[in-house]
Amino acid sequence: MQSALISDAVSKQRHSEKRRWTVISILLAVLAFSFVLDIATGPSLLNVKDVAKALLNLIGFPVEVDATTQVIVSSLRLPIAIMAIVVGGVLGVGGAEMQTLLNNSMASPYTLGMAAAAGFGAAMMLYFGSLGINTNIAVPLGAFICCMLAAAFLFALATMRHISSGQLILAGIALLFLFQSLLSLVQFVSSPELSQQILFWLFGSLSKASWSNLVIIISVTVICMFFLIRDAWKLTALRLGEERAKSLGVNITQLRLRTLIIVAVMTATVTSFVGIIGFVGIVAPNIAKMLVGEDQRFFLPLSFIIGAFLLSSASVLSKVIVPGALFPIGIVTAIIGVPFFFWLILGKRR
Amino acid sequence: MLTVNNLNVTLDTLVLANDMSFALEPGKVNVIIGPNGTGKSTLLKTLFGDIQAKSGVVSFENETLQRKQLSRWRKQFGYMPQDIRLDVELSVLEVVLLGQLNTLGFRLDDSVIEEALSALDKIGLLHLADRQVNKLSGGQCQMILFAQALMRKPKILMLDEPVSALDLHFQHVLLDHLDAQTKEQGWVTIMVLHDLNLAAQYADNLLVLKDGKLVANGHPSDILTPSLVKNVYNVNADITKDSAGIPFVRTIRNTRTTSSSKTSESNNLSGTRKKIISIAEGAI
C-alpha cells in the first residue's frame, strides 16, 4: 500500500518536471517567433515566410529566396536579432542569480550599480577621446573595466564572513548612486556634443552588433552558463536561507563569490557592447519564478529565455513605434518594465 | 564518540562557553537545556564549525575540528537550525531532496526521489510531497526540515529546538522517530529543547548549561532535581518520578509570594493612602 503511494508520488514529481519542460518549450517557440519577427521588421519590412526561408538557407537547407532578402537577413538583421536574444538572456540570468544570491526579488546587476559603473566607464572613455584607441574597442573596454571594479568591491564585501545579503544590497545601491553621480559629473563637464554621445550610449542599442562582437559575447555566455548550471542544486539550496544552505554542506562564501564573479563577467561583457538596458534583469526572473518555481534546473534556463524574449520583442517594438526610425531599446525595455514592476509590487502585497 | 575538551567561546565580551568538556556516545540522544542566551545554539554552531572557538578541542572518530578542513568535517553532520521559515517556490519533495545535495544530478534518479518520499512517509507527511512549502504552516515546515536533515544520513545529528512549532502529536512523532533512528543508526544526536519534561522523556544524556558553563551532565533521572531547576532557571519546581523512573517536572507559580508581599506592603500604609488606593482600584 505504502509503496503504491510512493510510486504514485514519484510519478507526480515526474509529471511536474514534464510540465515545467513543456512551459520552457512553449516559451522557446514564442522566442523563436519573436526572433523571426525581429529580423522581418525594419526600414524595409520583410515577409516572415521569406525570413524563415533565408534562415533555412543559412543553416544548410537550400530554399529559393530573393538575393536582397538573403543579404538583409544574414548581414544586417541576423546579428542584431541574435544579439537581442543573447543580451536579454544574459540580463535575465544575471538578475536571477543576483536575486538568488541576495535573497531579494528586487536585486539585479542594474540595481546593484554594475550597469551604472559600466556607463561611467564608457562615459570616461568618450570624455578622454578613447585614449587614442579605436572608439569601438575603447568604449566597451572602459565599460567592462568599471563594471568589474564595481563588482570587485561587492566581491570584497561578499568574502567577509559576517556580511549579510541585506548589507550587500545596501552597498550595491550605494554604488548605484555613486556611479550615477559620477556619470552626471562627466556629462556636466562635457561639451554638448559629447554629452549627447554619452547619453546615446546610455540609452542602450543593439545596432553595434557584429559577428565578431557576437563571438565574444556568446563564448562568455556559454562558459558562464555552464558554471551556473553546474551549481544549480547549490543555488537552489541557497534559497532556503544562508544558514540552512550551510547546514546542507554548501560553502556559502565560495558559492557567493563564484556566482558574483560569473554574473559580473556576463553583465560587464554585454553591457559594454550594448549599453545600459534596465529592468530585464528584474522582470525576467520574476516571471520565470511564477511559471516554474525556484528549482534552478528550470529557473535558470527559463530566466534566460524570458529575458531573451523581452529584449527581442523590445527590439521589434523599438522599430515599429516610430516607423522608419530606431527608438533606443533601453527606453523601450524600461517602458515595458515599469508597469510590470508595479504589478509585481502590488501582487506581493496581496 | 564526539569529545569536547576545554572549549571556550566568546562573542565580543560575552562568554558563551566557559571551559566546557564532555563526551557524547553514538546511539544516544543528548539533550541540551538551559535558559535563553546561555549558549546552547552557540555550542551547536561551534561543534558545526560555524563559530570559531577561542580555545579547546572538538574531535570525532580520530578527526579534529579544524578551520582548514571544514567541508570534510561538516560532511558528517546533519544540522537543523532554529529558523523554520521557508519562503521559497519549491515543493516539499524538492526541499527534502536537498538533504542529499552532494549526490543530486541534473536529472534525478527514481531511487533518490523514492528515498526522500520514504523519509516523508516515515513522519506521516507523504501526502504533502507535491505541495509548495511557502503555503505550509510553521509546524509542517519544521517536520519537512527534519526529514531533510535525516536525508543527509549523518553520523552526528544536531537539532536546534526541533519541536518549537509542533503540536503535541507531531512533537512525539518527531522525537520517537529521532530516538529510534539514533539507536538504529548509531548516530550521536544532540538537540536543544526548552521543555524539561520532553527532555526528561527522550534524553539518554542531559547537558545543562548556565551562563556558558556546563553545570550538570548525566541521565535525567540522576541529575534533574528541584535544586538544579531553581539554580539554573530561578524557578521553584516539584519533581516526581513515574514507574519507569522518568522525572516529571511541575513548576510552581510565584503568584502567592506576590500577593502576600502586597498584603504586607498594604499593612504598612497609612489610612489616607489605603483610602486613595481603594478609590483608585474601584475606578479601575
pTM above 0.90, yes or no: no
Among chain B residues, the shortest Cα distance to A12 is held by B130
pLDDT, one tens digit per residue, over A290-333 is 899 999 999 999 999 999 999 999 999 888 877 777 778 878 88
Helices (H), A190-324: 192-203, 211-230, 232-238, 242-247, 252-274, 280-292, 296-320
Q: Which of A67, A24, A196 is nearest to A127 (CA)?
A: A196
What average pLDDT does chain A have?
Answer: 86
Other Cβ atoms within 10 Å of A74 Cβ, number: 16
pLDDT averaged over chain B?
Answer: 87
The Cα A217–Cα A140 span in angstroms is 12
Helix (H, G, I), strand (E, B) or coil at B77: strand
How far apart CA A15 and CA B107 sit, in angstroms, is 14
Task: Let me know the angle formed at the C-alpha of A339 by A336 and A343, rounded to the nearest 5 degrees.
Answer: 130
- Measured from the Cβ of residue B261, the count of other Cβ atoms closer than 10 Å reads 10
**Residue range B198-244, pLDDT digits in tens:** 999 999 999 999 998 999 999 999 999 999 999 999 999 999 998 88
What CATH code is carried by the domain that includes residue A27?
Answer: 1.10.3470.10
pLDDT of residue A241: 85
Instruction: Give CA–CA dist A176/A111, Å, rounded.
Output: 7
Please state, in angstroms and rounded to a whole number, the distance separating the CA atoms of residues A187 and A201: 12
Give the whole-angstrom CA distance, residue A110 versus residue A108: 5
Q: How far is residue A150's CA from residue B33's CA, in Å, rounded to a whole number?
A: 47
State whether residue A104 sits within 8 Å of chain B by CB.
no
Residue A234 near chain B (CB below 8 Å): yes
- CATH top-level class for B2-224? alpha beta
**Cβ(A130)–Cβ(A201) under 8 Å?**
no
- Residue A189 vs residues A182, A192, A197, B4: alpha-carbon distances, Å: 11, 9, 13, 65
Q: How many domains does chain A have?
A: 1
Q: Is residue A191 part of a domain?
A: yes
Quick one: pLDDT at residue B183? 95
Please indicate if any CB of chain B lies within 8 Å of the CB of A233. yes
Residues 6+ apart with CB under 8 A from A304: A89, A90, A92, A93, A225
- Confidence band (pLDDT; 50, 70, 90) for B255? low
C-beta atoms of B91 and A241 within 8 A: no
For residues A145 and A116, give the distance between their C-alpha atoms in angstroms, rounded to a whole number.
12
Pairing status of strand B156-160 against strand B188-192: parallel
The partner residue sitting opposite A289, judged by closest CB among B79, B89, B94, is B89
Contact between residue A263 and residue A335 where contact means Cβ atoms under 8 Å apart: no
Q: What pLDDT sits at residue B262?
A: 47
Q: How confident is the model at residue A234 (pLDDT cuts 50, 70, 90)?
A: very high
Given a contact cutoff of 8 angstroms between Cβ atoms, the answer to whether A178 and A146 are in contact is no
* B229 touching A (Cβ < 8 Å): no
The 10 Å CB-count burial string (b at 16+, else e) for B81-118 is beebebebbbbbbbbbbbbbbeebeeebeeeebbbbbb
Joined together, the cell numbers standing for residue A10 give: 514519484
pLDDT for A130-156, tens place per residue?
777 777 788 888 888 898 888 888 878
The helix (run of H) or strand (run of E) holding residue B89 is none
Distance CA B150, CA B181 (A): 9
B156-160 β-sheet, strand order: B77-80, B156-160, B188-192, B28-33, B205-210, B213-218
- Average pLDDT on B64-93 reads 88
Which of A247, A251, A293 is nearest residue B89 as measured by Cβ atoms? A293
Between chains, do A249 and B117 touch, taking CB under 8 Å as contact? no
Closest by Cβ to B93, choosing from A13, A237, A294: A13
Q: Is residue B264 scored above 50 in pLDDT? A: no
Question: Is residue A312 in some structural domain?
Answer: yes
Q: What is the ipTM of this complex?
A: 0.83
pLDDT greater than 60 at residue B258: no
Contact B79 A247 (CB under 8 A): yes
Residue numbers of the domain that contains A266: 22-349
B265 touches A at CB < 8 Å: no
Q: Are A109 and A98 in contact (CB under 8 A)?
A: yes
Do A112 and A98 meet the contact criterion of CB atoms below 8 Å apart?
yes
Contacts of A288 in chain B (CB under 8 A): none
Give the helix/strand (H/E) hosting B163: none
Residue positions counted in chain B: 284
CB contact under 8 A, A236 and B98: yes
Tell whether A1 is within 8 A of chain B (Cβ): no
**Secondary structure element (H or E) that encloses residue B65, with its range:** none
Does A341 map to a domain?
A: yes
